[in-house]
Copies of this chain bind each other. A is one copy, B any other.
Amino acid sequence: MSLADDTEERHPTLALDDTVHQRVRLGILAIAREAESVEFAFLKQELGLTDGNLSRHLKVLEDSGLVAVHKGYAGRRPRTWVVLTPAGAQALDRELRALRALVHRLESAGPPPT
């Protein structure tokens, strides 16, 4: 970027990370942030997902170190819990900052929302 660009703000969407921003994964991270751990079945219901779809997105988040997935039992029933990692919390905070900047930019520059 040249010096002449210093007064130009980088577009807020450039601060978004696809791993976090993707709709389903953003939902998973947002819900996981609200509790110490969330059950697979709860995420599935809250976000209207199939087992396969939720598993696929959890794998992306787990591989990126943004959530940890624990398997265990509640009585005799197998359960899967999802926990936001510190890296996941930071990534979600970055996403939030970028979203706030985007919303702010759209509200100040564009026509008012209908």
Contacts and interface: CB of A to CB of B under 8 A. Distances in A.
B97 A99 contact: no
A110 B34 contact: yes
- Copies of this chain assembled into the complex: 2
A63 B48 CA distance: 26
B48 A27 contact: no
Given A11-B46, A14-B27, A114 B96 contact: no
Interface residues of A, number: 37
Contacts of A99: 99, 102-103
Contact of A26 (B13, B92, B93, B113): B13
Contacts of A103: 96, 99-100, 103
A97 B111 contact: no
Interface string A71-114: 00000000000000000011011001101101101110111011
Contacts of A107: 96
